[in-house]
């Protein structure tokens, strides 16, 4: 087999020629025919005993076609890998060079494929490149909000409270009243109703519960309390939404249980839960440690904004790039995404812009030997696992062994593994770009950082 690449004058496209002769596939054809013979049920012969010549006449051309169609794509992949051809997308059957392939009359074949080639990239990145790096200022208000959030999350439950406070959970029996203010005959009764005054929307109805004692009876109107929100009324009264919309009567709530949530105390036990056992020994140390932790939490956002700005500068440095537009558009139309020609023309400029940046990233990674290790991937998976556990389960301090287990379980999913690997590579590239550039360190609020990021995305 002979494979050759003829580059076109535009330097970003070419024609790949594959010459296949009978010797390239003959052995595989014979092997395939022997397999056919073992399974063939030919009239006049026992199964598997038909003459080989007959099998060859019956199936030879079809098997040859199958084998040729297998070795051609395999050969293309090997050629591209071995010769380090920087190809974009997949090779496409040539629209100008290819002649009809006839397996009935020929044994030697020539295949031609149009390929798109990546343009040459040569971008310098050094201390002459100055970019802003936005660090989030952790002010006292942000710190206090985080502390209060932790105190709520790590608080305790007290069921000895005698009077209702706004954030208490109360349980009891709810009974529907008639127009006469007495229990309605055949009316609704909910034996194990649950309510929290904090979530009552109407202030007047909410205040009816505040200060009420255990075993007291509160008369209130659910429809008014929840501003007619059918879903909330239905949930409280444990009925269908279709019924809840018709409920307008007052109800009584006989309070049988008051559960009070007490915020965690600012003590050593609380500090250990938040920042790790023994890492701080005073409230001042705790506040400083937490402040630094919050700042670190914003590092991904700061890095993302820097990477956004770096992308813009890198694309400017790259300038105009030539692409084999006709081949790339053919690839996109054949990708199975149901694009119309008109839709493709609309999307194509952004597709090319994204492709340019992917090529720039690939070039920088290769030339500067930026690599992702298994440990990099595991560390990122651990951070993502820790973030998820904190966000969804309130677990802010997870033992290292457990965190490793969560992370490794995540990485068993091939798609998640690929996403984390790509993310880790972007992180490594971002770190390299930061180290090599001249950073203008700028303090901003979290809202300002988000605003800057969104403004650039919406351009």
For 310, residues 6+ apart whose C-beta sits below 8 A from its C-beta are 131, 430, 433, 437
Which pLDDT value is given to residue 153? Answer: 83
Domain range annotation of the chain: 2-117, 130-146+282-457, 156-262
CATH 3.30.70.1050 for the 2-117 domain, yes or no? yes
The torsion region of residue 181 among left (phi > 0), alpha (psi -120 to 50) and beta comes to left
pLDDT at 394: 61
Q: What is the pLDDT of residue 198?
A: 92
Strands 438-444 and 130-136: what pairing? parallel
Name the packing angle between helices 268-275 and 140-153 (round to 10°).
100
Same fold, 130-146+282-457 and 156-262: no
Per-residue pLDDT tens digits of the chain, which is 459 residues long: 899 999 988 889 999 999 999 999 889 888 888 887 877 777 777 777 778 888 788 888 888 899 999 999 999 999 999 999 999 999 999 988 777 788 888 888 899 999 999 999 989 898 888 999 999 999 899 999 999 989 988 888 888 788 999 989 999 999 999 999 999 999 999 999 999 999 999 999 999 999 999 999 999 999 999 999 999 999 999 999 989 989 999 999 999 999 998 889 999 999 998 888 899 999 999 999 999 888 888 898 999 999 999 999 999 999 889 999 999 999 999 887 778 889 999 999 999 999 999 999 999 999 999 999 999 999 999 888 887 776 666 665 667 788 888 888 889 999 999 999 999 999 999 999 999 999 999 999 988 998 988 887 776
| Nearest of 307, 275, 295 to residue 432 by alpha carbon | 307
Cβ-contact 154, 269 below 8 angstroms: no
156-262 to CATH, choices 3.10.50.30, 2.50.20.10, 3.40.50.11810, 3.30.413.10: 3.10.50.30
Q: Report helix, strand or coil for 101.
A: coil
CATH topology of domain 130-146+282-457: Trigger factor, domain 2 (1.10.3120)
Long-range CB contacts (< 8 A, 24+ apart) of 120-124?
A: 120/11, 121/318, 121/321, 121/359, 121/360, 121/363, 123/314, 123/317, 123/318, 123/360, 123/363, 123/364, 124/317
Two tokens, residue 354:
């994204």
Query: How far apart are the two ends of the chain, measured CA to CA in Å?
Result: 51
Cβ neighbors of 241 (< 8 A, separation 6 or more) are 230, 231, 234
């Amino acid at each position: 087999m002979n494979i050759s690449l003829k580059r076109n004058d535009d330097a970003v496209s070419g024609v790949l020629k594959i010459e296949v002769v009978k010797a390239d596939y003959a052995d595989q054809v014979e092997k395939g025919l022997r397999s056919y013979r073992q399974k063939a049920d030919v009239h006049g012969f026992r199964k598997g005993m038909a003459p080989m010549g007959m099998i060859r006449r019956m199936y030879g051309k079809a098997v040859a076609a199958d084998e040729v169609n297998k070795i051609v794509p395999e050969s293309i992949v090997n050629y591209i890998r071995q010769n380090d051809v920087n190809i974009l997308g997949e090779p496409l059957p040539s629209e100008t060079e290819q002649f009809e392939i006839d397996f009935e009359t020929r044994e030697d074949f020539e295949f031609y494929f149009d390929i798109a080639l990546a343009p040459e990239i040569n971008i310098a990145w050094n201390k002459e490149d100055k970019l802003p790096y936005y660090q989030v200022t952790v002010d006292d208000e942000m710190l206090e909000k985080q502390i209060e959030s932790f105190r709520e999350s790590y608080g305790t439950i007290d069921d000895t409270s005698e009077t209702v406070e706004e954030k208490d959970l109360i349980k009891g029996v709810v009974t529907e009243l008639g127009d006469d203010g007495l229990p309605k005959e055949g009316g609704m009764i909910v034996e194990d109703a649950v309510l929290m005054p904090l979530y009552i929307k109407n202030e007047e109805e909410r205040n009816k519960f505040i200060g009420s004692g255990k075993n007291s009876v509160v008369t209130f109107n659910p429809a008014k309390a929840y501003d007619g929100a059918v879903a909330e009324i239905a949930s409280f009264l444990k009925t269908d939404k279709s019924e809840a919309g018709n409920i307008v009567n007052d109800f009584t709530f006989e309070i049988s249980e008051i559960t009070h949530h007490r915020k965690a105390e600012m003590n050593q036990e609380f500090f250990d839960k938040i920042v790790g056992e023994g890492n701080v020994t005073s409230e001042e140390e705790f506040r400083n440690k937490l402040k630094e932790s919050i700042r670190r939490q914003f590092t991904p956002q700061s890095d993302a904004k820097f990477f956004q700005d770096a992308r813009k500068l890198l694309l400017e440095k790259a300038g105009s790039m030539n692409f084999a537009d006709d081949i790339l558009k053919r690839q996109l139309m054949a990708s199975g995404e149901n694009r119309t020609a008109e839709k493709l023309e609309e999307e194509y400029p952004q597709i090319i812009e994204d492709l340019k940046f992917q090529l720039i990233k690939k070039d920088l990674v290769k030339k500067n030997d930026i690599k992702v290790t298994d440990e990099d991937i595991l560390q990122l998976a651990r951070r993502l696992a820790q973030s998820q556990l904190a966000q969804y389960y309130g677990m802010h301090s997870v033992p290292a062994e457990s965190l490793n287990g969560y992370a490794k379980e995540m990485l068993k999913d091939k798609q998640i593994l690929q996403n984390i690997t790509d993310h880790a590579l972007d992180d490594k590239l971002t770190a390299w770009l930061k180290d090599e550039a001249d950073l203008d360190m700028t303090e901003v609020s979290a809202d300002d950082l988000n605003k800057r990021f969104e403004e650039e995305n919406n351009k």
